[in-house]
Amino acid sequence: MLATLRGAFTLLLIVLNTVLWGTLLLLLALVKLAMPVLAWRDGLSRGLIALAENWISTNNAILGLATPLELELRGGDALERSEWYLMVANHRSWVDILALQAAFNRRIPFLKFFIKQQLKWVPVLGLAWWALDMPFMRRHSAAYLEKHPEARGRDLAATRQACEKFRRIPTTVINFVEGTRFTPAKREAGGAPYRHLLAPRAGGVAFVLQAMGDMLHATLDVTIAYGARTPTLWDLCCGRVRRVVVDVRRRAIEPWMIGDYGGDPDFRRRFQESLGALWTEKDAVLDRLQAELTGAR
C-alpha cells in the first residue's frame, strides 16, 4: 500500500511538472512560430531547450526525493556540451528515456529524436517537437522506391535539409537501434545471437550518418542496465528501481562509415558487420553489468 501511494504521488508530481514546463514551452513555441528573423529564432530555440532541461532537472529532483533510485553514469568524463553527437543505445523500458535524460542532462546537448514526418501534425505535440527542433524524417519503403525509382534520394535530401538547423546549435541525436523494447520472446522470435539484446537495425544509423556525418564529432555508444528485472515506469514511481547504470563509450566516426546504405551492397554489408560487432561487445558489457547489479541486491 505504501509503495502504491508513493507511486501515485510521484506520478502526480511528474504530471504537474510536465504541465507547468510544457505550458511555458508551448507559449514560447508560438512566439518562435511567428518570429521572422533567423537569429532571433535561434535564440528562442536555446530558450526552449533551457525550459526542457529545467523540466528534466525538476523530474530528477522529484524522483530523488520520492524514490531510493541510485543512477550511475560511467564513462562520461570526455563529454562536452559544445559538440555534436549521435547516440546509439539499447532499449529495455520506457524508463530508458528518463534514465538517459537524468544521466546526460546539461552534460551534452539536449537529446533529440528523429520523428516520422506524419507526426508533425499531431495537435500540441507536433508544435512542441517542432519548437525543440526535433528532426522530422521522411523515409520511403523499399517497395515504394522499387515502384517509384525517381523518389530515390529525396528522403536523404529532405532529412539533410531538416538537420541544417543543427549546424547553429550543438545537438545529440539518439537512436534506439533495436527498433523496439527488448524482451526474451522478441529475441527468440527474431533469432538474435545475443543474450540481452535484439538484432540491431543498421539502416537507421547509416541514414543518420549519411545525413549528418559532417556535423558529428563522435558516436556515443550507450548501454543501460537495470539488473535481472526490466522495470516499468510505475515501478520507478513506486520506488522499486534501486539502481541503474548508464555506461557510455565515445567512439570515433571513421570516414568509411558515411556511405550509400541503400544503393551500395558492399558498404551495406560492411556497415552491418561493424554494427553487429559493436552489438556483440555491448552484449558482453550488459552481461557484466547485469551480474554486478544482480549481485548488489
Q: What is the CATH number of domain 70-295?
A: 3.40.1130
Domain boundaries, the chain: 70-295
| Residues composing the chain | 297
pLDDT band at 297 (very low <50, low <70, confident <90, very high): very low
CB atoms within 10 A of CB 106: 12
Which grid cell is 265? 551492397
Q: CA 224, CA 230: separation in Å to the nearest integer?
A: 11
Q: Which residue has the cell 513555441?
A: 29
Q: What is the mean pLDDT of residues 109-131?
A: 80
Which has more confidence, 213 or 199? 199
Read off the pLDDT band of 269 (50, 70, 90): very high
Q: Given this model, what pLDDT does residue 193 score?
A: 93
Residue 176 has pLDDT above 60, yes or no: yes
Which residues sit opposite 246 in a β-bridge? 73, 224
209, 187 contact by CB (below 8 A): no
Smallest CA-to-CA distance from 218 within 90, 75, 118 is with 75
The percent of residues in the chain predicted with pLDDT above 70, rounded, is 92
- DSSP class of residue 182 equals -
Question: Where do we find the cell 534501486?
Answer: 242
Predicted local confidence at residue 181, as pLDDT: 92
Confidence grade of residue 150 (pLDDT, cut at 50, 70, 90): low
Place of cell 515502384: 147
Question: How does pLDDT run across 60-89, given as a tens digit for each residue?
Answer: 999 998 888 899 999 988 899 999 999 999
Kindly tell me if the per-residue pLDDT of 155 is higher than 70: no
pLDDT-based confidence at 100, cuts 50/70/90?
very high
**With bands split at pLDDT 50, 70 and 90, how would you rate the model's confidence at 146?**
low
- What is the pLDDT averaged over residues 134-150? 65
Mean pLDDT, all residues of the chain: 88
The whole-number pLDDT of residue 37 equals 85
C-alpha cell at 104: 546526460
Looking at residue 234, its amino acid is: W
Rounded average pLDDT over 144-171: 71
Which residues are 112's β-sheet partners? 173
| Structure-block grid coordinates of residue 78 | 570526455
